[in-house]
């Protein structure tokens, strides 16, 4: 499994997909920073800039972005990390 240097998960407080993403990352033993974009307007703007949208969750893994996803998409995204290096 890909071992990231930095993982940031942008979430909204009442977001089921955000909770699923947090659960999956924790279950895999992956360390990550959670950023509540509703609490931090600058973080919301950054999330929109890097993802092109305002929907959550958005995950940034070593500069690679996955936006507006569920657990299945996260697994596929994670499996693809490191394959292009």
What CATH number should be reported for the domain holding residue 73? Answer: 3.40.30.10
Maximal C-alpha separation, the chain:
36
Residue 1 lies in a domain: no
The torsion angles phi and psi of 9, rounded to 5 degrees, stand at -110, 115
Q: How far apart are CA 7 and CA 60, in angstroms?
A: 6
Residue 2 lies in a domain: no
Residue 85 has pLDDT above 80, yes or no: no
Residue 53 lies in a domain: yes
Residue 49 lies in a domain: yes
- Written as six digits, the tokens of 31 are 């360390």
Q: Is the dihedral of CA 56, 43, 50, 59 positive or negative?
A: negative
Q: Where are any strands of DSSP class E within 1-85?
A: 7-11, 33-36, 58-61, 64-67
Residue 75 lies in a domain: yes
Q: What's the pLDDT tens digit per position in 23-50?
A: 999 999 999 999 999 999 999 999 999 9
pLDDT band at 82 (very low <50, low <70, confident <90, very high): confident
Residue 24 lies in a domain: yes
For 14, the domain range is 7-80
Residue 84: what pLDDT? 65
Residue 55 lies in a domain: yes
């Amino acid at each position: 499994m890909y071992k990231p240097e930095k993982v940031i998960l942008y979430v909204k407080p009442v977001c089921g997909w955000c909770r699923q993403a947090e659960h999956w990352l924790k279950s895999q033993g992956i360390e990550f920073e959670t950023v509540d974009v509703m609490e931090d307007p600058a973080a919301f703007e950054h999330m929109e800039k890097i993802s092109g949208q305002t929907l959550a969750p958005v995950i940034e893994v070593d500069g690679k972005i996955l936006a507006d996803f569920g657990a299945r998409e996260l697994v596929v995204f994670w499996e693809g990390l490191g394959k292009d290096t």
